[in-house]
Structure 1
Amino acid sequence: MKQSRRDLLKFAGAAAVASSLAEAAPKSPASGGIPKRLLGKTGVEVSCLALGGHHIGTLPDVKASVRLIHQAIDAGITFMDNAWDYHDGRSELWMGEALKDRRDRVFLMTKCCSHGRDKRTAIEQLEASLRRLKTDHLDLWQIHEVAWDDDPEKHFMKDGAVEALAQAKKEGKVRFIGFTGHKSPELHLKMLSHGFPFDTVQMPINAFDSQFRSFQKEVLPELAKQGIAGIGMKSLNGSGAPIKQGLLTVEEALRYALSQPIATLVSGIDSEKVLRQNLAIVQRFKPMTPEEMKALEQRLAPKAQDGGLELYKTTRKFEGPVGRAQHGMSAEG
């Protein structure tokens, strides 16, 4: 993965490899037994399990963070998730420390948190992210948290964040570009309606999603049409509440999410115990059959139909402090 800027620019121009989300099916296990999948039309393969950057910043100190990241990489996890605003930059700083001698072993992603501000703000955030992550380029840069009604319009305005993505890719500072969000399939579809050449889109994928404002039913088919890679998140509903309530097991939750046509699943891993648990599940992963998925959805239906266990869709509690401030709200929910 280690490449010069010139090589990256050549790669970006040649990466129109024809594929669809159907090709997101697991490949042969990578080193460490983690299956790999195609990242949409990019032609790049990534581990089907991604290490979530937000939880990295919750660890006791940088040493604990570095140790956990190294264990994940050694086990075969190649996809690293992060964002400019996670814990005021701490997540990026600590991940950068862990990757300074392993950058060529990972697919590194972070996110722009401009929240409707101009292209200049987005580029400034990119430069800060590159410094913190101790790298001269990202493998993937995404607009973070498309969660507000005016977000699509602001991101696509003249000198908006979308122009920053295009400029960064042209300059070779990023290989691929995308956006994320957990609020509404409608907002995702508005972003996709512009015909902009996104490489990835990140969204909630879990066993509750299919029955309430469903990204799975509304967004994944559109990604398949456009050859865009889907990236899953919130497989445990963002808080683990369904697991704590005994509604399903972690294995059922991860297995259901990974049975959807996504390239990788971002998992919040905050301890070696959770890392071992998730690795074991992925290493023995077999896709659910349609019948198994339907049975699980029916079992969960009484708790899934009103969105009560998907609070990131129905409340503002999951919105980050930067986005909240941009929309006149207090930093914390």
Structure 2
Amino acid sequence: MADRRDDQSGENRHREAQSWKRRQFLQRLGVLGAGVAIADRILLHPDAQVNAGEPDETISLQAGEIPRRKLGRTGVEVSALTLGGFHIGVPKDEQEAIRIIQEALDAGVTFLDNAWEYNEGVSEERMGKALQGRRDKAFLMTKVCTHGRDRKVAMQQLEQSLRRLKTDYIDLWQVHEVVYDNDPERHFAKGGVIEALDEAKRQGKVRFVGFTGHKDPAIHLKMLSYNYPFDAVQLPLNCFDSSFRSFEKQVLPLLNKRGIAAIGMKSLGGSGEPVKAGVVTVQEALRYAMSLPVATTVSGIDSLQVLRQNLNIARSFTPMKEAEMQAMRSRYASYAADGRFELYKTSKKYDGSPGREQHGFPSQEELEA
């Protein structure tokens, strides 16, 4: 612990000093939910017989390494692909989830994502079990989910996250889901969650801090207007975003200018709607997102098949040239214009129930009841 804190102090000092056919559209699956295993077996083994009840685990991995990148001004290097934490709570079999995490680590995915509220703590618990004997391989991120509540609640959540994750420190602790217009004021209010970020760093329980959100670039910019020394910021980045309420255009340049690590998410549009519709392939969507000036891209993975598919994409990754990226933006601009593939910006579909509750909105479960 002492060595880690010494490293932290040194880093702090350093920081301060410096068309496919329609019937083939299933090949574009490979995202969360039903059909994941089927989709990526079709994608990687088109001639394979598919049986949803008997997962095929024979997908072989390509040679090569996962690219590494600098995490902003922190001086830390992380994998360009991050294992998403929410989806680790999706498999019914806990051992399968643990195997996904461990195989990802062994394959060179160093960055692990999570959040206090994911699957009511199950995601953190599974990750904690998977990390036993492997903690030194992981750059571990989780998120504090006060949604406007105070510093005390935030610190309680931190202790719960540490216990679930079976560790004595978090590499990156982020304020989760800043998606309401008044969230920045709540977070920066006296006694708010920002004070918890400072306290956790002083206690040596957190190395770096940041915030996340998927709703509106204006909210991200409001958070950044306080000039707090965030180490990282998580934001939705994909080939549709540049043409609709764009985080890529409005927020990403500011993060790069300030040396704040950009963490991309929702490369497939949240639940992969554009992939399912046959508009874009998994490979080109993920490659576009990884070609942006980001430290890493979070990928939701709920099966070994999807893991191996995305590992192959990452291992064979070559950055798109600007002309290629602009061609993609132009090609998908008409699809992006009405927000159909970025519903997290235009609806409450992707807003978590804890945040809804704190803001007086019914949860998704209540709406579906």
1:152-163, aligned counterparts within 5 Å? Answer: 152-163=184-195
Structure 1 position 120 matched with structure 2 position 119:
no
Shift in Å, 1:224: 1.4
Letter in 2 for 1:156: F
Letter in 1 for 2:349: K
> Under a length normalisation based on structure 2, what TM-score does the superposition of the two structures give?
0.85
Shift in Å, 1:3: 6.2
Letter in 1 for 2:338: D
Shift in Å, 1:134: 0.1
1:24-173, aligned counterparts within 5 Å? Answer: 33-173=65-205
Structure 1 position 14 matched with structure 2 position 13:
yes
Structure 1 position 197 matched with structure 2 position 229:
yes
Contact conserved, 2:80 with 2:296, CA < 8 A, in 1?
Answer: yes
Letter in 1 for 2:185: E
Distance 1:243-1:254 versus aligned 2 partners, 3 A rule: same
What is the rounded CA distance, in whole Å, between the counterparts of 1:211 and 1:4 in structure 2? 46
SS at match of 1:16: helix
Distance 1:282-1:3 versus aligned 2 partners, 3 A rule: farther
Letter in 1 for 2:331: R
Contact conserved, 1:32 with 1:76, CA < 8 A, in 2?
Answer: no
What is the rounded CA distance, in whole Å, between the counterparts of 1:181 and 1:314 in structure 2? 13
What is the rounded CA distance, in whole Å, between the counterparts of 1:207 and 1:91 in structure 2? 28
Counterpart of 2:345? 313
Structure 1 position 301 matched with structure 2 position 300:
no
What is the rounded CA distance, in whole Å, between the counterparts of 1:15 and 1:138 in structure 2? 20
Contact conserved, 2:11 with 2:75, CA < 8 A, in 1?
Answer: no
Shift in Å, 1:13: 2.7
Runs of 5+ consecutive residues of structure 1 not aligned to the other structure = 20-30
What is the rounded CA distance, in whole Å, between the counterparts of 2:229 and 2:81 in structure 1? 24
1:285-325 residue CA offsets vs partner (Å, 9 max, x unmatched): 11111111111111111111121110000001111010011
Runs of 5+ consecutive residues of structure 2 not aligned to the other structure = 19-62
Distance 1:300-1:6 versus aligned 2 partners, 3 A rule: closer
What is the rounded CA distance, in whole Å, between the counterparts of 2:316 and 2:109 in structure 1? 15
Letter in 2 for 1:254: L
Distance 1:127-1:215 versus aligned 2 partners, 3 A rule: same
1:209-224, aligned counterparts within 5 Å? Answer: 209-224=241-256
Shift in Å, 1:139: 0.4
Structure 1 position 241 matched with structure 2 position 240:
no
Contact conserved, 1:9 with 1:171, CA < 8 A, in 2?
Answer: no
What is the rounded CA distance, in whole Å, between the counterparts of 1:226 and 1:207 in structure 2? 24
Counterpart of 1:23? none
Shift in Å, 1:5: 5.4
Contact conserved, 2:234 with 2:265, CA < 8 A, in 1?
Answer: yes
Counterpart of 2:24? none
Distance 1:3-1:246 versus aligned 2 partners, 3 A rule: farther
Shift in Å, 1:255: 0.5
Equivalent residue for 1:174, pick from 193, 202, 206: 206
What is the rounded CA distance, in whole Å, between the counterparts of 2:350 and 2:326 in structure 1? 28
What is the rounded CA distance, in whole Å, between the counterparts of 2:129 and 2:64 in structure 1? 23
1:257-285 residue CA offsets vs partner (Å, 9 max, x unmatched): 00100000000011111111111111111
Distance 1:328-1:284 versus aligned 2 partners, 3 A rule: same
Between structure 1 and structure 2, the one with the greater Rg is 2
SS at match of 2:349: coil
- Give the number of equivalent residue pairs: 321
What is the rounded CA distance, in whole Å, between the counterparts of 1:33 and 1:200 in structure 2? 24
Equivalent residue for 2:299, pick from 267, 284, 290: 267
Equivalent residue for 1:292, pick from 321, 324, 327: 324
Counterpart of 2:313? 281
What is the rounded CA distance, in whole Å, between the counterparts of 1:171 and 1:12 in structure 2? 16
Shift in Å, 1:11: 3.4
> Under a length normalisation based on structure 1, what TM-score does the superposition of the two structures give?
0.94
Q: Percent identity?
A: 59
SS at match of 2:15: coil
Distance 1:3-1:265 versus aligned 2 partners, 3 A rule: farther
SS at match of 1:287: coil
Shift in Å, 1:330: 1.6
1:127-162 residue CA offsets vs partner (Å, 9 max, x unmatched): 000000000000000000000011000000001011
